[in-house]
Structure formats: C-alpha cells, structure tokens
Structure 1
Amino acid sequence: MSPVFSHGDLRLYLLNLLDESPRHGYDIIQALSDRTGGTYTPSAGTIYPRLAKLEEEGLVSKSVDGRKTVYAITEAGRAEVLARAGELEGIEAGLTDSVRLIAEEVRGSVREAMKSLRADLAAAARERHGEASPPAEDPRAHSRQQLHRADAALNDVRGRVRAELRAHVARGGDVAASVVDELTEALENAARTLSDALRRER
C-alpha cells in the first residue's frame, strides 16, 4: 500500500497539528485519522517516539493533565513551522494524493475480495447440487480485470511522481528541465512498448 507520509514529513505535520492547539497523544492519532479519511491511523508506537524526539529538540513541551500527557508546541517549534510553511503545502498536496491512492487500492481490494467470495459461494452451491464446473472465464472479462490492474498501476505511479515533485519544489528544490525531459521520454517509451505488445496480441 502507498505510504501516506514521505520520510521526515510526519515530524513536521505533528508540529503543525500542535501549532493549531495543544493535544494529548490519542487526540493526535485521532486527528491524523480524521484528516486522512480514516485511511491512516498511526499506532502509539509511531507517534510517541516522535513526540519524545521533538521534546528533546526543544520544539515541543509536555504537561500532565490528570492521567493524560498534553503536548504543546514551543516558540522554537512555532518558528520552524513558520519557516517551513512551503514544505507543509507540499505535504498537504502529497497527503491528498496519497489518501486518494490508498482509497483506490482499498476499493480495488474490496472488489477483488467480493469477486472471489461470489465465486466461492457459486462453487459451493454447485457442489451442493452436484453441478459440473462452469466453463472457462470469458476472455473479455479477463481483459477487463487486467485493464483494472493497469489503471491502478498508472494511478499509483502518477500519484507518487506528482507527490514527490510537489514536495521537492515545496522544500525549495529545483526541478531541472532535463529531469522532466527524461521523465517524458520514459513515459513515451513505456507507451510505445505497450502499443507494440498490444499489436503482437492481435
């Protein structure tokens, strides 16, 4: 499954959440789940070590409220969020793409699971009635299944490339024309390879 946060992005996103308001650990986990439409719910083992590291760096402070530990951003942490506002925009854009891709993957998995379940139920019904196995799968149905796989692969690559480019630019990185030229050439080569393969199948 596609990752939601690229390396290092979760750290900055946690600071951004705490810049909005102080939160305890469960509230942070819930906020991440809410903002990703439930597609990403990190474990306590993912969040608390990062919060401890931010505290060590002086970017976050913590206090005890009853039985809850509340984390708040410090002035140094707020300054980092402000200085990296452009990166946050890239993270938000990448997050939107990642969540969409994960949702598509989940929907595809559910569709495949339902298809398999229906086939199992049909086979069980035939066994009960002593019926013979059905004929082989319709070639057009097989082609539609492969088309779905191709669509999912294209969407996955498109989303990852787009998110990486946006995040790179948001961090102040330069995208050279030669990099885009190489990407364009690779895509054109892939399209030609596909066309040749399809012609051979006719």
Structure 2
Amino acid sequence: MFKHMHGHGGRGCGPRGGWGGWAAHAEARFGGFQEDGRGGGGRRRMFDGSELRLVLLKMIADEPRHGYELIKAVEELTGGAYAPSPGMVYPALTMLAEMELIAEQPSETTRKRFGVTDAGTAHLLENAELVAAMMARLTAAGEHRARSDRAPIRRAMRNLRTVLQNRLEDGDLSDEAAHEVAALIDAVVQKIERLK
C-alpha cells in the first residue's frame, strides 16, 4: 500500500523522497510555513502532498468529513496557524478515493463526505508512527501560535506602565492612593501567578 501511494504521482513520501528522514527534519521544516499551504518566498509548506494525504486520511478515520470540514479541522487544531488550501485538499481527497483508502458516503448536502475504508484503516496502522508524528506537528503549530500570540498581554503591560508613569510624574497621588495602587498591582500579580 505504501508503494501504491507513491505510485500515484507523489514525489516520495518524506521531505527528501522517503519516510526515513522525516522525523529528523520535522522540526526544521516547521518554521516559516505558509498558512494556506502554498510555498513561496522562501517559506516551506507544513506538509508535502503525500504527508497531507496521510493527515487527511487520519482525520477522516476519526470522523467522516467533507473537504471544507477537513480544512477547518486542521485550522482549529493549529489554533489558526495553518490551514491547507482547497487546491491542496480536494486533489488529495480525489487521490485517496482513487487509491480506495476513502469512499464517498451518503450526504444530505451537495458536498462529498468521505469515510475511511478497510484499506485506509490498514494503511494508517502500517504508518501509525508517522501519523502520530504529523499530528503532533499540527498540535505543536497550535502551541507555538498560542505562545507567540501575546499581543493583548503586551498591550496591557504598556498601558499599565504608561498610566503609572503619568500618575507618578504628575505627583498628585496621595499616600493613601499610592498604597491603594500598590495593593491593586499586588492583587493582580497574585492572580496571574495562580493562572495555569
């Protein structure tokens, strides 16, 4: 089945044409990916075509979905840091269907909803370690986004610093007000320390 996937137009199944080198390059390839999945400007894709097919297959195995649902599921998993483009997802679904790893299911809408086949389940089991690593890459993208997206906190810190400097420079704070300000700051500090 693995050779079958490669034989349907994939350019190898890892970053250098084989699965073997994927783990070693995963972290290096993570930085600077395009959110819509398009390469360019020196930035790398989150996944190549064969990797994305495996991710989509895993998500379909978890729950039958159509293309738009898959795009949104990936975007949600990464906290908005990455969403594959329709131009990547729909051809991948077509190829997975041609490979008989997924099959169209009855749907009440005009959108094609796919479920995993027995062959698709077997393929996921054969590549379980790689699937787990790629899903971890998506989760890591979300965690990275969450860590780096601290603009509201930085804005609040600037506001606090500005208002404190202004009040101290004006010199119009009474001793009682100064103690009250200090108590407010101490209370906020304690609350922040308890946050998880």
TM-score for the superposition, normalised by structure 1: 0.47
Q: Which has the higher contact order (CA 8 A, sep 6+)?
A: 1
TM-score for the superposition, normalised by structure 2: 0.48
